Structure 1
Amino acid sequence: MVIDMAQHFLLSPAARTLSLAKVLRMSDAQAEEAFRAVRWADGNPVCPECGGTSHYDLKSRPVWKCKACSKQFSLTSGTIFHSRKLRIRDILGAIAIFTNGAKGYSALQLSRDLGCDYKTCFVLLHKLRESIKAARDEGALQGDVELDGAYFGGHVRPENRKEDRKDRRLAENQTGKRQVVVVARERQGRTITTVAKTEAAGVAFARKSIATGSTVHADEASHWDQLAANFPIKRINHQVEYSAADGACTNQAESFFSRIRRAEIGIHHHVAGVYLHAYATEMAWREDARRQSNGNQFAMLVSAAAAAPKSEQWRGYWQRRCA
């Protein structure tokens, strides 16, 4: 007897429409032409300073000079890759590699794959995360919205000898670096996140991010009681069950936390608190795009990077020129 088992999407041919080998075999001219077609629909360069469409081609360097304002600009001027030194083909290759990391991709591994400096890859990946945030629709969530929080960072290593160990649950024995990622996840829809010191800060986040009339699903933490005045709310007691008969559950929120926790433990090993919001945004995008083919995800990332403005945070980061 043959048992017909459902195949996971990531194992199906529909999930594999991007060939990394094909991207890396592109010539520099082909890669530049591909990026140019994404950035400008008609292929005609537009000056990022004044918006002018008339320009000269400079023979000495691969840049254009605007006829209107006389400013020189390149293929990536005014984008997230402003002042880049990597070739466009290498940037597209990096985006393809980043796309294929289902649980994320570390800068150290990318530096080995591309054969370039770790610092270059660190900034490149954070620029991609910034472009993801800029491209994502941050409108209010609607329908059934699951809400939950999980703590990251601030690990205190216990002492070797039992008599020397302290109660790490007490504030005086903590590092103060521990932060919570609060997620609001629309069923069959979008995922948005925020980072705060305590999960209770998610109450204000929920009021701002969830549309009136939506039904909120949350666990039995007392701070979520405040949302009852704003939304119909369903509660789930995880000590009893994970999904209630009335449909109350936060399983999709927990799925998001599983992805970001695996990224922290298995891919990055450590996430600095100041960048936690960037990793949370990346994982929210990966959750929302998990049923898209890797080719579609690659196109989404390249389009986001081409549309994102130059980064004030990451431009000149290692030279301490960033904002």
Structure 2
Amino acid sequence: MAQHFLLSAAARTLSLRTIYRAGEAAAYQTFCQMRWPETDGAPVCPRCQHDEAYSIATRRKFKCKACHHQFSVTSGTIFASRKMDFVDLLAAICILVNASKGVSMIQLSRDLDCQYKTAFVLAHKLREAMALEVQTGEVMSGHVEVDGAYFGGHVRPENRKEDRKDRRLSENKSDRRRVVVAFRSRKGRTLPFIVRSEAQGVELAKIHVDRLATMSADEASHWDLLHLGWPVERVNHSLAYSDHGKHTNWVESYFSRLRRMVQGQHHHVSPQYLHQYANHAAWLEDNRRTDNGSLAHQLVANTMTAPVSRRWKGYWQRAA
């Protein structure tokens, strides 16, 4: 029997031991090469794009020979104003890509020997960088599966039986409950959205799914409207999960990863940040057969092209 790729040595091309053994200088050079791949790590001024600069070695900064602008390798990126060493940033990226179901912020803070707040913001910045590959604006084609799953908003029942209410009624439900609607091309990419109702997925399909595509959905009645725009295969999950090749197993696989991430690692996710975790799970699912070394370098490259995060830069300083 053939060995699964994730169990083979080919899936393990980077480790924390390798990162820390190589040291700070090697990690810094990795970020330089990912920031300026066209010059093999040689600095390019972000203001005037001139490719000649003086090196200020004591401060790890550069000064452009043309416009005299001073900049660093992280200037204008999602890691702008960072204080962590580059070797720790690379280690955090390695930990995050190795965790197939996510990692708790308590665990990440202990692994990096930093505050919980630092780990929390760092992980969210990395998820924002992952979203550059997930939320590309590309219209999905081929055969696309669609489904929705509910997250958050759990209402605890009253202790005494006579005080309990019917939690199925809308007036007794939490306003923090959200639906993740996901579109997934078979053997392709995953595209998640956060909405209030699963029925909103029909309008999302009109924007993000090509009219020449074919679709698969479950037996929920709101998906009936999809038949007006696409050839749609339907599967009744109350009878079977697959019916003569008709299934939504690919998108269900994504929801399985996201649910284990939320329930098993984070336990609680705020609805205002649920999209970050949905994109994180989509990125992991789409790259599940890529070795961890390539994933880490891919994520470093994303952070070096991502702009300064307006949501997460100075996050704790704004919280009063």
Distance 1:22 1:11 in 2: 20
Distance 1:274 1:49 in 2: 34
Aligned twin of 2:262: 264
- Structure 2: state its 5+ residue gaps: none
- Quote the offset at 1:59 in angstroms: 5.3
Aligned twin of 1:33: 29
Distance 1:54 1:283, change over 3 A: same
Q: What secondary structure is seen at the aligned counterpart in 2 of 1:274?
A: coil
Q: Does 1:75 align with 2:73?
A: yes
Q: What secondary structure is seen at the aligned counterpart in 1 of 2:107?
A: helix
Aligned twin of 1:13: 9
Distance 2:156 2:89 in 1: 39
Distance 1:301 1:55 in 2: 26
Aligned twin of 1:179: 178
Aligned Cα root-mean-square deviation (Å): 1.4
Q: Deviations over 1:171-216 (max 9, x none)?
A: 1111211000000000000110100000011111111111121111
Distance 1:158 1:18, change over 3 A: same
- Structure 1: state its 5+ residue gaps: none
Distance 1:18 1:59, change over 3 A: closer
Distance 1:58 1:117 in 2: 30
Q: Deviations over 1:2-28 (max 9, x none)?
A: xx4x43332122211112210122222
**Code of the aligned partner of 1:117:** Q
Q: Does 1:134 align with 2:132?
A: yes
8 Å contact kept, 2:121–2:312:
yes
Q: Which moved more, 1:74-83 or 1:134-143?
A: 134-143
- Quote the offset at 1:60 in angstroms: 4.9
**Code of the aligned partner of 1:34:** T
**Code of the aligned partner of 2:75:** S
Q: Deviations over 1:136-167 (max 9, x none)?
A: 44411111111000000000011122111111
How does 1:93-172 map onto structure 2 within 5 Å? 93-136=91-134, 137-172=136-171
Q: Which moved more, 1:267-276 or 1:38-47?
A: 38-47
Distance 2:312 2:46 in 1: 19
Structure 1 residue aligned with 2:87, among 83, 89, 96?
89
8 Å contact kept, 2:133–2:283:
no
Q: What secondary structure is seen at the aligned counterpart in 2 of 1:14?
A: helix
- Quote the offset at 1:100 in angstroms: 0.6
Q: Which moved more, 1:60-69 or 1:94-103?
A: 60-69
Q: Does 1:230 align with 2:226?
A: no
Q: Which moved more, 1:299-308 or 1:191-200?
A: 299-308
Please give the TM-score of this superposition, normalised by the length of structure 2: 0.95
Distance 2:170 2:201 in 1: 20
Q: What secondary structure is seen at the aligned counterpart in 2 of 1:109?
A: helix
Distance 1:214 1:220 in 2: 19
8 Å contact kept, 1:138–1:192:
no
The sequence identity of aligned pairs, in percent, is 53
- Quote the offset at 1:312 in angstroms: 1.2
8 Å contact kept, 2:13–2:291:
yes
Q: Which moved more, 1:65-74 or 1:269-278?
A: 65-74
Distance 2:115 2:139 in 1: 40
**Code of the aligned partner of 1:131:** A
Distance 1:233 1:292 in 2: 31
Please give the TM-score of this superposition, normalised by the length of structure 1: 0.94
